[in-house]
Structure 1
Amino acid sequence: MYKQILGISLILILAGIILVNFVQQNNETQEDDLSEMNGDPPSQGGAIAPDSIGLDPGEDAPEFELETLNGDRIKLSDLEGKKVILNFWATWCGPCRDEMPEMQEFYDEHDDEVEMLAVNLTDTETNESDIPKFIDEFGFTYPILLDEDGAVSDEYKGSIAVPTTYFIGTDGVIQAPPRIGPMTYEFMEETINSIN
């Protein structure tokens, strides 16, 4: 009886070790795939996203017109002639919260040459009133657009993984691969300087 219990215990321990190694290896592979999509070296952490996410550089940025949190309307084609950072986010998204202060810093220093548009995935929010509370709490001043029915994020494939960010050139063309995951100030500056 003792040998049977010992044998079963040993089998369960070995099965547990194999399962842990499989899960860990699978997570590392997915992180590497995500890093390759962003052009970054593999790193710990990050969201998992499918390979087909986003629009490709060279494609015209799909036109849209959305209402801002302040009640104004912004039409993408009205911004032609300016570089545009188009960011998809939600209040429930931790990585979005991490990048937004750096987006604010970038906006404060570059708003004369770059338009920052933060498109909230409003249809995914638990409570729409969370959006202005969140923005007011942290004092973000760049335009917050409300994608109430999810049509714009669907067009840009931005609701699959958030945050997702596009860099649109002065000609209205997407000029860099979409950034999936949080951005740093340095990343925004480097990318904006690399596009027309």
Structure 2
Amino acid sequence: MNFRKLTICLGVVLVSQSAHAQLAKKDNLTFKEIQDRVNTLLESKDPLAKDSIKWEASHLIESKNEEYIKHGKSVFNFLGDSKSVDLAHQNLLKQFPKSDYAASASLDDILKNYTEPSSLDKDIATWTKRYKTLLKQASFADASYAKISNKLLANDAVAAAKKYAARITKEAPKATFAYNYAKQAYEKGDQATSVRLVEEIIQQYPGVLENNKYFAQQLYTLQAQLYSKQQKWKEALTLIEEQKIPLEDIKFQALMQTGRNFDAFLLLDARFAMTALSPIQEQEGPTLFKNLGSTAAQWEAYKQRIEQKKTKENETQWKNAMISEESIDFDLVDMDGKRVKSSDYKGKIIVIDFWATWCGPCVNSFPGMQAAVDKYKEDPEVVFLFINTWERGADYKTKVKSFIQEKGYRFHVVFDTMESDALVEKYGIKGIPTKIIIDKNGRVRFKSSGSSPVVKEILDEISYKIEMVKKSN
């Protein structure tokens, strides 16, 4: 278990505390004391720290304090202990049946089993009577009706969704529902409805847009996308530049369509220096060069020149990153239940990719890693091991296997121990994805983190490093 990751997810601050306090037996315990105690254990180097956290959390969920139970539940939820999470949930429902937690849980059950609007209306009516006191609180009522309306909207029951959304009193959740409706209409190709809703939000909820910058950026992003669909390039460009919206392709097209061809080239050139061109830039590149007085042949020459320059720079960087450190022996189990030992690969180059299903950058690099696996599949000198680590949940092996099968990756997946003595911890790795390349003599020659969704970038880097290791041996 990556204790540091858990600290970040809980969003708490590390401070020194007594290492032996028994939290749930204290009187008048503050929420901060619970946070501090858990974080002290998270930072501990003691291999029994995880058991200590579970021990403390188990006392919390058995307490008579609603907040203690909730916090214990959150700890178990992160640790992937579903049985303890369910126990905490049942304790909350049993001890506090009229609480907002119980009411929200009941509503979640209703929405989870939702089939069609009329049956939902009956269930919501019963639920409303049961929790009528709580529904007098505007914040709880608004959150509940927003949850109902958005669920109905997601199920295309627009009329019913509007009915419940009309019960919302505060502007922020009203605006959010309208945005969700506008976004759904856009995705379904109903531009007229989406445009109308976006304009209504801007007119009716200026305060929400002023106070919630994240919401404002979402809305203006949608508006810029609508402008591009309508080919209102001047309006789209003005909005993107004023609001600093990261819609690179639309901005690129808008710059070309409004005659700002050199600015379009600067945008393309800045991206190309860092990564691959987008499909739109690749497609419009010849036209852009023509607008600038150049030819299609000059466009191809430009691309070749930039690719050569990047390759040379990358190779220099990769060459300078070469190291020579002792590798760490391992004895693990793969996705098929077979033992995988480092000694099995003596005399081979081993490419190790530490990853987890929840890690977006890990998954983003997989198409490139698959290309690398395919390139070297006939090479008897090279093996790839995708070591799944820092995974969450007791059923992580099933989840990992389903993920790999669903995506169709042909990887040799090996499971780390998921404990304090995990291989990822022994290597001192602080973040994933991290890739390690071990030479035939058992020495680590490359150790790098980072990711790219561009297949060529991953393939070029892995290939170059493998060939360098071959030469060094």
Conservation of the 8 A alpha-carbon contact between 2:357 and 2:391:
no
TM-score, length-normalised on structure 2?
0.28
- Quote the offset at 1:139 in angstroms: 1.4
| The one of 336, 339, 363 aligned to 1:73 | 339
5+ residue gaps, structure 2, are 1-273, 276-321, 453-457
* Contact persistence 2:327–2:444 (CA under 8 A): yes
Q: 2:438 aligns with which of 168, 171, 185?
A: 168
Corresponding letter in the other structure for 1:125: R
Q: Which structure dedicates a bigger proportion of its chain to helix? A: 2
**1:143 is matched with which residue?**
412
Structure 1 residue 106 and structure 2 residue 375: aligned? no
Does residue 428 of structure 2 align to residue 154 of structure 1? Answer: no
Which amino acid is 1:172 matched to? G
Work out whether residues 417 and 423 of structure 2, in 8 Å CA contact, stay in contact via their aligned partners in 1.
no
Output one character per residue of 1:33-87: Cα deviation in whole Å (capped at 9) or x when no partner.
xxxxxxxxxx79xxxxxxxxxxx92211100011001111111122021111111
Counterpart-to-counterpart distance in 2, 1:139 and 1:186: 22
Q: Tell whether the 8 Å contact from 1:107 to 1:114 is kept in structure 2 after alignment.
A: no
Tell me the residue number matched to 1:119: 387
Query: In the alignment, what sits opposite 1:194?
Result: 468
Once the two structures are superposed, residues 13-47 of structure 1 have per-residue CA deviations (whole angstroms, 9 ceiling, x without a partner) of xxxxxxxxxxxxxxxxxxxxxxxxxxxxxx79xxx
Q: How do 1:53-64 and structure 2 match up within 5 A? A: 57-64=323-330
Distance 2:337 2:347 in 1: 24
Q: Which has the higher contact order (CA 8 A, sep 6+)?
A: 1
User: How far apart, CA to CA, are the structure 1 residues paired with 2:365 and 2:350?
Assistant: 17
Mean Cα displacement is larger for which, 104-113 or 87-96? 104-113
Residue 369 of structure 2 aligns to a residue whose secondary structure is helix
Q: What is the distance in 2 between the residues matched to 1:71 and 1:101?
A: 25
**TM superposition shift of 1:149:** 2.7
The one-letter code sitting in structure 1 at the alignment partner of 2:427 is: Y
- Name the % identity: 30
The whole-number CA distance in structure 1 between the counterparts of 2:341 and 2:371 is: 24
Instruction: Give the match for residue 13 of structure 1.
Output: none
- Whole-Å Cα distance in 1 between the matches of residues 443 and 387 of structure 2? 18
Give the deviation of 1:109 after TM superposition.
1.7
- C-alpha distance in 2 between matches for 1:87 and 1:171: 19
Tell me which structure has the larger Cα radius of gyration: 2
**Structure 1: 5+ residue runs without aligned partners?**
1-42, 45-55
In structure 2, what residue type is equivalent to 1:187?
E
Confirm or deny: 8 A CA contact 1:60 1:173 kept in the other structure. Answer: yes
Corresponding position: 1:85 with 2:339 = no
Q: CA deviation at 1:148?
A: 2.9
Q: TM-score, normalised by structure 1?
A: 0.66
Give secondary structure in 2 for the equivalent of 1:116: strand
Distance 2:335 2:445 in 1: 27
Instruction: From the two aligned structures, give the one with the greater strand fraction.
Output: 1
The amino acid of 1:155's aligned partner reads K
Contact 1:77 1:172 in 2 (8 A): no
Does the Cα contact within 8 Å between 1:67 and 1:145 map onto a contact in 2? yes
Instruction: Confirm or deny: 8 A CA contact 1:103 1:185 kept in the other structure.
Output: yes
